[in-house]
Amino acid sequence: MIDAGNKCKTLFKYDSAVRAPLLGFKGGHSLYRAISCNAFVPDIETPVFVLTAKDDPITTYKNVPIYDIKQNPNMFLAALPKGGHIEFSY
């Protein structure tokens, strides 16, 4: 498993080869479905401010559940053009 992880060139490939099997999932897609917040967004009742950056290399903007967030009146979204991901800023 360590060898497979060392050969990965993307986060998704690493998650598929290393994290998913370690956590008992068949692959990266299964892992992402299980750990994603998407299933919970419609039921959030406590006000939440969602801050995302369109250039985030980890949580890519295309995977942010924008439509679901906008449908929930308890969620407030700010999508900035730049900002990176935590310490992985540009």
Give per-residue burial for 4-22: e unless 16+ CB within 10 Å, then b.
Answer: eeeeeeeeeebbbbbbbee
Residue 48, in any domain of the structure: yes
Residues 11 and 47 in one domain: no
Task: Give the mean model confidence (pLDDT) for residues 32-40.
Answer: 84
Asked if 81 and 46 sit in the same domain, the reply is yes
4 or 66, greater pLDDT: 66
Same domain, residue pair 26 and 48: no
68, with CB counted inside 10 A (0-12, 13-18, 19+), is middle
Q: Are residues 48 and 74 in the same domain?
A: yes
Q: Is the pTM of this model over 0.75?
A: no
Tell whether the model's pLDDT for residue 88 goes beyond 60. Answer: no
Q: Which residue range is the domain that position 53 belongs to?
A: 41-85
Is 90 inside a domain boundary? no
- What total of structural domains would you count in the chain? 2
Q: Both 31 and 47 in a single domain?
A: no
